[in-house]
Amino acid sequence: MAASGFEGFEKRLELHFFGDDPASGLSLSHHGLRLLDSGSLEDVLHAVQCTIVSAVGNQYFDSYVLSESSLFIYPTKIIIKTCGTTQLLKSVRPLIVLARTLGLSLGSCRYTRGSFIFPEAQPFPHTSFKDEVVYLEESLPSSLCFRKASIMHSKVGSHSWHVFTACDATAEMAVRPVPDDLFTIEVCMTELDRAQARKFFQSPGRVGKFTGDSAGRAMTALTGIDQINPAALICDFAFEPCGYSMNGIDGDRYSTIHVTPEDGFSYASYECVGSVYDDLNDVIRVLRKVGQIFRPGTMSVSITCPSADSWTWVARALEPLGLKRRSCNMDEFPEAGTVVFQTFTMTTARRETLDEGIDPHEDVKQLGCAPWY
């Protein structure tokens, strides 16, 4: 592992809003947060220290590729995911203020992240999970009275999952335009296969001749990222001299991939929305394709609001690739519901992370609803 480098692990924030007057709020909520003007949005991102590099929208939501990850704006929901040394939580207060100008109030908040590869490089309030939680507690209105913070550990020391959620009980009904049948999948991958990671470097002759847009498109096709969900419209971008980001939009669902390909701190993330009504084979195929593209040494998968058996198919998707499940952890959170956090490591001999001391069947026996460390 390098002594220092770019932090690929993202911080993710999801905010749900509701209109003051549900009856008349309908026309406002129809577009809601999408009506925020570009200048105000830019100011918020400036506070976080990232900028917009590409964007596209459809009838359901707007998506933005940022200099350090992604932003999705639905009428009553905002999702921001940023990496590097961005100060993501500084967007909370300004977003609450901006939403109020549209007559929208905050109903719930969800903050998640993995473990930083370079934690000492993080600025306040991301200096520790405790600092982040305190900062969030102070930034959220007291109406969000149901709160919980927890670190979900795993048998892989470098991958833990940090979760904080808060919600307002009375607004909960109005706030859930997203029905319980949707779930979010957040995948974090480290120690990427070197040959695969190389595809995310712009070749020296190309830099300057090609722009971020077209170089991004080339990487999407070369790596097969466009095959993960062929129906999605992809908004991609390649950074100089390396690095890649994409947002996929498919109806009202987003997907997003971010890659830091440098050896020593390589990282890639994949996130998407699934439904309990989806054909499970499709979801398995998607996750397997992601594993095939990056062939990571370690992969962690967090699923929020899953269906009863949602964690079982993840292992089914990944084991044929040589990714063995090392741990599974479950916990319940306000608004978010159940969060299932699983870690996998590559078992092939050429992987340095192989730990032959772990009995691969031990985890399966211990699975249950109680979190364990």
Query: What's the min distance (Å) between Cβ of 47 and another protein?
Result: 13
Query: What's the min distance (Å) between Cβ of 232 and another protein?
Result: 10
Rounded to an integer, what distance in angstroms lies between the CA atom of residue 161 and that of residue 150? Answer: 8
Strand partners, 301: 187, 342
H or E element at residue 16: strand 11-19
Q: Are 16 and 106 in contact (CB under 8 A)?
A: yes
| Active-site option among 160, 258, 266, 302 | 258
Q: Choose which of 131, 137, 172, 213 interacts with another protein (CB under 8 A).
A: 213
Stretch that binds another protein, among 34-42, 114-122, 282-290, 350-358 (CB under 8 A): 34-42
Query: What's the min distance (Å) between Cβ of 49 and another protein?
Result: 12
What is the distance, to the nearest Å, from the Cα of residue 115 to the centroid of all Cα atoms in its chain? 13
Rounded to an integer, what distance in angstroms lies between the CA atom of residue 265 and that of residue 297? Answer: 12
Evaluate the CA torsion angle 95, 97, 99, 105 in order and state its sign: positive
Smaller CB separation from another protein, 245 or 304: 245
**Helix-strand-coil split of the chain, %, nearest 5:** 30, 35, 40
Residue 282 interacts with another protein (CB under 8 A): yes or no: no
- Choose among 179, 40, 42: nearest CA to 102: 40
Q: Is 162 one of the catalytic residues? A: no
Q: Choose which of 18, 237, 244, 267 interacts with another protein (CB under 8 A).
A: 237
Q: Is 167 one of the catalytic residues? A: no
Residue 260 interacts with another protein (CB under 8 A): yes or no: no
Q: Is 245 one of the catalytic residues? A: yes
Residue 31 interacts with another protein (CB under 8 A): yes or no: yes
Residue 235 interacts with another protein (CB under 8 A): yes or no: yes
Smaller CB separation from another protein, 18 or 64: 64
Contacts made by residues 142-148, CB under 8 angstroms, sequence distance 24+: 143/105, 143/106, 143/168, 143/170, 143/171, 144/106, 144/107, 144/108, 144/109, 144/168, 145/169, 146/334, 146/335, 147/334, 148/333, 148/334
Residue 101 interacts with another protein (CB under 8 A): yes or no: no
| Active-site option among 245, 255, 266, 302 | 245
Residue 26 interacts with another protein (CB under 8 A): yes or no: no
| Active-site option among 83, 188, 235, 328 | 83
What one-letter code names the amino acid at 268? A
HSE-up (13 A, CA, CB side) for residue 174: 19
- Span 70-89, contacts to another protein by CB under 8 A: 73
Query: What's the min distance (Å) between Cβ of 25 and another protein?
Result: 15
- Choose among 154, 18, 119: nearest CA to 76: 18
Q: Is 16 one of the catalytic residues? A: no
Q: Is 262 annotated as a binding residue?
A: yes
Q: Choose which of 131, 172, 240, 252 interacts with another protein (CB under 8 A).
A: 240
Q: Give the pair of three-digit tokens for residue 270.
A: 């994949």
Q: Give the pair of three-digit tokens for residue 308.
A: 């009863």
Pairing label, strands 11-19, 298-304? unpaired
Residue 102 interacts with another protein (CB under 8 A): yes or no: no
Exposed / middle / buried, residue 361 (Cβ in 10 Å: 0-12, 13-18, 19+): exposed
Residue 34 interacts with another protein (CB under 8 A): yes or no: yes
Q: Choose which of 49, 105, 214, 312 interacts with another protein (CB under 8 A).
A: 214
Stretch that binds another protein, among 15-23, 29-37, 192-200, 307-315 (CB under 8 A): 29-37
Residue 37 interacts with another protein (CB under 8 A): yes or no: yes
- Span 41-60, contacts to another protein by CB under 8 A: 41-42, 45, 51-58
Query: What's the min distance (Å) between Cβ of 265 and another protein?
Result: 19
Smaller CB separation from another protein, 215 or 330: 215
Query: What's the min distance (Å) between Cβ of 314 and another protein?
Result: 30
Query: What's the min distance (Å) between Cβ of 63 and another protein?
Result: 8
The DSSP result for 192-233, as a single string, is: --HHHHHTTB--TTTBTTB-HHHHHHHHHHHHTGGGTSTTSE
What is the distance, to the nearest Å, from the Cα of residue 283 to the centroid of all Cα atoms in its chain? 17
Three-state secondary structure call for residue 334: coil
Residues designated catalytic: 69, 83, 245, 258
Binding residues for substrate: 6, 68, 239, 262
Residues in contact with another protein by the rule CB under 8 A: 31, 34-39, 41-42, 45, 51-58, 62-64, 67, 73, 211-215, 233, 235, 237-240, 249
